[in-house]
Amino acid sequence: MAYLRENIERDILCIAGGSGLAPMISIARGTFSSPRMVGRKLSFFYGARTLQDVCGLDMLTTLPQWQERGTYQAVVSGANEEDPLPEGHLRGFVHDAVAQTYGDRLQHMEIYFAGPAMMGQSLLKTLIDLKVPMDQVHFDQFY
């Protein structure tokens, strides 16, 4: 289950898709408001089908110390190859983007995710393939 573990000292990775945005925003808010989490960095990936579906950054940038400790990456799976993406957006699936961005470093992160079942299944397989300890992986899936 995806609730914030404040006693863990690893940096945090939140991955959201669709309606999984709300629980991951909650994890981010908890991270940035807890005195026990000071100094931890948080990376936030949001997977969307289209550019119009990309959201969440406006809620994150209002958090205290976001500029110093937070990063946001939107990943768009349904964009046409010829359509330009805004700066800072990636094309593809969020599980692939996470693996390409962090690779083996995922083994040293606390990972939270929520979203569609297919995203969750793909992400879990990727994390298992990269030998991420499952006690560092916390998720909610929506069907």
What does the chain look like in DSSP terms, one character per residue?
A: -----TT--SEEEEEEEGGGHHHHHHHHHHHHH-GGGTT--EEEEEEESSGGG---HHHHTTSTTHHHHEEEEEEESS--TTSPPPTTEEES-HHHHHHHHHGGGGGGEEEEEEEEHHHHHHHHHHHHHTT--GGGEEEEEE-
**Band of the pLDDT at 13, cuts 50, 70, 90?**
very high
In this prediction, residue 60 carries a pLDDT of 97
Q: Which CATH number fits domain 11-142: 3.40.190.10, 3.40.50.80, 3.30.1240.10, 1.10.8.420?
A: 3.40.50.80
pLDDT digits (tens, 9 = 90+) for 130-140: 999 999 999 97
Instruction: Quote the pLDDT of residue 83.
Output: 80
Mean pLDDT over the full length of the chain: 94
pTM for the predicted model, two decimal places: 0.95
Q: Where are the domains of the chain?
A: 11-142
- Check pLDDT > 70 for residue 141: no
Q: For 79-108, what is the mean pLDDT?
A: 93
Over 80: is that where the pLDDT of 32 sits? yes
Q: Residue 31: which residues within 8 A CB-CB, separation 6 or more?
A: 4, 12, 37, 40, 42
